[in-house]
Structure 1
Amino acid sequence: MSDRRNLITDVAGIRVGNAHNEALASGVTVALFDGPTTASWVAVGGGPAARDTGCLEPDTVAEGVDAIVLSGGSGFGLDAAGGVQAWLRAHERGFLVGSVRVPLVPQAICFDLLNGGDKDWGRYPPYRELGYAACEAISEDFALGTVGGGYGATTVNLKGGLGSASAVTANGFTVGAMVVVNAIGSAVIDSGPHFWAAGYEVEAEFGGLGLPSHVRPEMRPMHWKGGPQPATTIAIVATDAILDKAMAKRLAMAAQTGLAKGLRLSHALFDGDTVFAAATGRKPLVDRYNDIIEIGATAADCLARAIARGVYEATALPFPESLPAWRDKFGRSS
């Protein structure tokens, strides 16, 4: 792990920027690609909300996208992609139509409107400006936890947040994941401290506690956010392999299993559970079918790890009745 960041930016061709508003208790994360990048998506939960995802389908004309956005704000947060488009247009990026460039910026949002922040923003929500600010902050290094699109994220019993992780396959393909953990359920077994994703942990990246010696039936209750409150865990997985859009969609499908590995529960009626998949096209496949299988399985593991890291690195919001952070309850394990 020492020669990598353990972030999605270990995949060549991706940089990430975060912006958030502390009073609003919400924010935006943008994955910006060095050039037009093959991407697709899959939404499995019953309450998704997204923008410009039609261009990600394998039968559409767009060959690549310029950025992907993960934002808070529920439907209001979909304005963030407009800010990212403005930044890309200023940098002469986008799909060329005659003499006009149109930046392609798919986006998914999570529901964080009931987390205690001040959502009385006036006529227009602030997410467009937050999207632009996130682009101004792009880097290969970025913080995790209560930042960006994960600033206002929660789970049923702990503060959620922005998580990321990476790995390398046997044939040398780099795979990464980035997730806003705003789950309807829990990332920890029972009331904690052990993470559901503990079996996939690398080098104590989220505390090194492992799994409990035995997960008894009474430690597997199904708790979820009460009432009609959407929760929407949203993610991006990426690889440096050369894939077409059909195989990028297959990668997104495979990566969805990482949500089930890292959370109890997932893919519920009030979940959005959207996963984007991007292939930056730096390396040709060596063993086409087996490489695709391994990249997908690795992406699912990375996503499960990223979920745990997002919760592990989070800090609590400073509002009455806010959920505690993992470290508030269990300290910094190593």
Structure 2
Amino acid sequence: MHNLITDVRGLLVGQADDVAAATGVTAVVFERPTVASAAVLGGAPGTRETALLIPEMTVEHVDAIVLSGGSAWGLGAADGVMRWLAREGRGFPVGAFRVPIVPQAILFDLTNGGEKPWARGDGETPYGELGAKATAAASTSFALGTAGAGFGATTANLKGGIGSASARAATGQVVGALVAVNAVGTATIGDGPHFWAAPYERDGEFGGLGWPATIAPADTALRLKGGTGQNTTIALVATDAVLTKAQARRLALAAHDGLARALRPAHAPLDGDVVFAAATGQSGAPSDAFALTELCAAAADVLARAVARGVHAATALPFPGARPAWRDRFGS
């Protein structure tokens, strides 16, 4: 176990960045077609192919899931992922063709100081190329913090980023989370270094500070950034259990509790919070509803931890007015 989503057997993660544009793409590539679903609880989502993840829809499996910056322009990242997978012969069979199934969610990072001329209609976006590069780079190890879809991400007070965590559930099966933290609110309490996710921390993975001795009313006051659509936290939780599409949907819904534990606020009208859920099926199915509940609880916990790890690991962008990183303000 390396405390990454890739501890779940059957998936790999690749990332690609555009440093000048301060944006990037994270691609999760499944080693074989995988059951997946999603839950969208934010008020301003940007997504692709999420309708087919509804349990009653025909397609049962996906080939990859993409998280990206770029707002709606970033949805082109899935094109690059599809091209790469098509060359590998992956996809849903339709006559003589195979169509790779690649759901995606995006976050807003247009105003973080990077150069994004395509957002003014000048030139092509880099996201197709970034998607292909991220897919080609997929492996069991990947960077946290300012990388991939989290490269340009921020929170209300600190730099956001890519986070990941994993755990073995009480069922014995592995559950992992991957998240790009770009929240309208905060992952930390008040003006201090403590994370809202502190009760779920393991082995000092984001500083080992716990909660502060007291939490004053001022610490719970909302701290918000940006305007409509300028936020969004997007995530994937995965397990090596065998799940149905409906059970994967339940896992995604339960995992949203992790966002609510780690961010204040979550699921706001100004957020587009999306959680995908995938089951690679390399261990047994949950024995009953109680076992599925244990998987759901583990998914919420690892997602809360992943959020804090993403902020804790981030480095600040080199632009005037850029939000400071947690490490800049509070040390390593």
Q: Which TM-score bucket, shorter chain as reference?
A: over 0.9
1:23: which partner in 2? 20
Give, in whole Å, the separation in 1 of the partners of 2:226 and 2:18: 26
Q: Aligned residue for 1:70?
A: 67
Aligned residue in 2 for 1:292: 292
SS at match of 2:27: strand
Using structure 1 for the length normalisation, give the TM-score: 0.97
Question: Which deviates more from structure 2 when the two are superposed, residues 156-165 or residues 214-223?
Answer: 214-223
**What amino acid sits opposite 1:34 in the alignment?**
E
Identity %: 58
Over the residues paired in the alignment, what is the CA RMSD in angstroms? Answer: 0.8
After TM superposition, give the deviation of residue 123 of structure 1 in Å: 2.6
4+ runs of 1 displaced by more than 4 Å? none
The unaligned stretches of length 5 or more in structure 2 are: none
User: In the alignment, which residue of structure 1 is the partner of 2:177?
Assistant: 177
Q: Which residue of 1 aligns with 2:227?
A: 227
Aligned residue number for residue 135 of structure 2: 135
1:141-152 aligned at under 5 Å gives the runs 141-152=141-152
**What is the one-letter code of the residue matched to 2:213?**
S
Give 3-state SS (helix, strand or coil) of 1:196's partner: coil
Q: Is the CA contact 1:243–1:279 (under 8 Å) kept in the aligned structure 2?
A: yes
Structure 2 equivalent of residue 283 of structure 1:
283
Work out which of the residue numbers 90, 94, 108 in structure 2 matches 1:93. 90
Distance (Å, rounded) in 2 between the aligned partners of 1:258 and 1:286: 21
Q: What are the superposed Cα offsets for residues 233-257 of structure 1, whole Å, 9 maximum, x if unpaired?
A: 0000000110010010000000011
Query: Which residue number in structure 2 is paired with residue 33 of structure 1?
Result: 30
Gaps of 5+ in 1: none
**Contact kept in structure 1, 2:259 and 2:266, CA below 8 Å:** yes
Please give the secondary structure, in 2, of the residue aligned with 1:218.
helix
How far apart are 1:81 and its partner, in Å? 0.2
Equivalences, count: 329
Residue in 1 aligned with 2:123?
123
1:5 matches 2:7 = no
Q: Which amino acid aligns with 2:20?
A: A
8 Å CA contact 1:230–1:272 kept in 2: the answer is no
Partners of 1:187 and 1:262 within 8 A in 2: yes
Contact 1:40 1:249 in 2 (8 A): yes
**Closer, same or farther: CA 170–126 of 1 in aligned 2, 3 Å:** same
Q: What secondary structure does 2:15 align onto? A: strand
- SS for the counterpart of 2:240 is strand
For 2:20 and 2:159, the matched residues in 1 are separated by: 17
Aligned partners of 1:323 and 1:170: how far apart in 2?
A: 39
Instruction: Tell me which amino acid in the other structure corresponds to 1:100.
Output: F
How much has 1:230 moved relative to structure 2? 2.4
Cα deviation code 1:46-95 (max 9, x no counterpart): 10010011221111111200000000000000000000000000111000
In structure 2, the partner of 1:245 is 245
One-letter code aligned to 1:75: A
Q: What is residue 163 of structure 2 aligned with on the other side? A: 163
Question: Aligned AA for 2:99?
Answer: V
**1:266 counterpart residue number:** 266
In structure 2, C-alpha distance between the alignment counterparts of 1:186 and 1:78, rounded to whole Å: 26
Q: Could you give the per-residue CA deviations for residues 22-46 of structure 1, whole angstroms, max 9, x where no partner exists?
A: 0000000000000100000011011
Query: Partners of 1:249 and 1:210 in 2: how far apart?
Result: 32
1:185 to partner: Cα distance: 0.2
- Alignment-derived partner of residue 236 in structure 1: 236
CA distance in structure 1 between the aligned counterparts of 2:261 and 2:198, rounded to whole angstroms: 9
Q: CA deviation at 1:227?
A: 3.1
What secondary structure is seen at the aligned counterpart in 2 of 1:214?
Answer: coil
